[in-house]
Amino acid sequence: MPYYQTWEEFVRAAEKLYLADPMKVRVVLKYRHCDGNLCIKVTDNAVCLQYKTDQAQDVKKIEKLHGKLMRLMVSKETHSSAMETD
Amino acid sequence: MVLLENDAFLTELTRLFQKCRTSGSVVITLKKYDGRTKPVPKKGQSESFEPADNKCLLRASDGKKKISTVAYSNLLRAHIDGLKKKDKKSKSKKTKATQ
């Protein structure tokens, strides 16, 4: 279960995994205020991608990705058009 | 597991974050939801549900309490905004520390 070192790689892998099978993939966010870190995990129960951070600047990136994936999940049209709006 | 309306979920989620400020974690899970209310049948084709494509399941937990909601596209932006303000406020001390 590797922790990605670069945000860009994680985003690319996460989006790819989700688009492969939207119904299977889930996104898990774990926030620990006492330790001051946030961990995001994207998995389809076969592949597991994780990214961890303690930087406030990464929170915005994580939240953007989370929102993007949410929007993909609720969009009625096919995936590609929803991704272009970002 | 408590299933809530979107607004109530947001309120409870805020409360969860506040409770866990001194210890513990808040786990939020997000998954695409197609409107199924019954488990997938092993034999026979009882397709009694119509697959919906515009919903997702949101769950949150602090290790003890669990809440969940079904979110539709129009509510999601509000949720992310609510979350962002909370996180930025509590994480701002981290940026100051590293700089």
**Closest CA of chain B from A69, distance in Å:** 9
Domain boundaries, chain B: 2-37+52-71
Q: What fold is seen in the domain B2-37+52-71?
A: 3.30.720
Check residue B79 and give its pLDDT: 58
ipTM rounded to 2 decimals: 0.83
- Residue indicated by tokens 């809530």: B4
Per-residue tokens: B63:
């290790």
Global pTM?
A: 0.79
Read off the pLDDT band of A82 (50, 70, 90). very low
Domain-embedded: residue A52: yes
Instruction: State which amino acid sits at residue A21.
Output: D
Any idea what the CATH number is for the domain that residue A57 is in?
3.30.720.10
Better-scored residue on pLDDT, B45 or A40:
A40
Task: Give the distance from residue A70's alpha carbon to the nearest chain B alpha carbon, in angstroms.
Answer: 7
Whether the per-residue pLDDT at B16 is higher than 50: the answer is yes
For residue B21, the surrounding DSSP H or E stretch is none
Is A51 within a domain? yes
Best of A52, A73, A75, A86 to disrupt the B interface (most B CBs within 10 Å) is: A73
Is A27 within 8 Å of B31 when comparing Cβ atoms?
Answer: yes
Considering only CB atoms, A23 lies closest to which of B32, B54, B93, namely B32
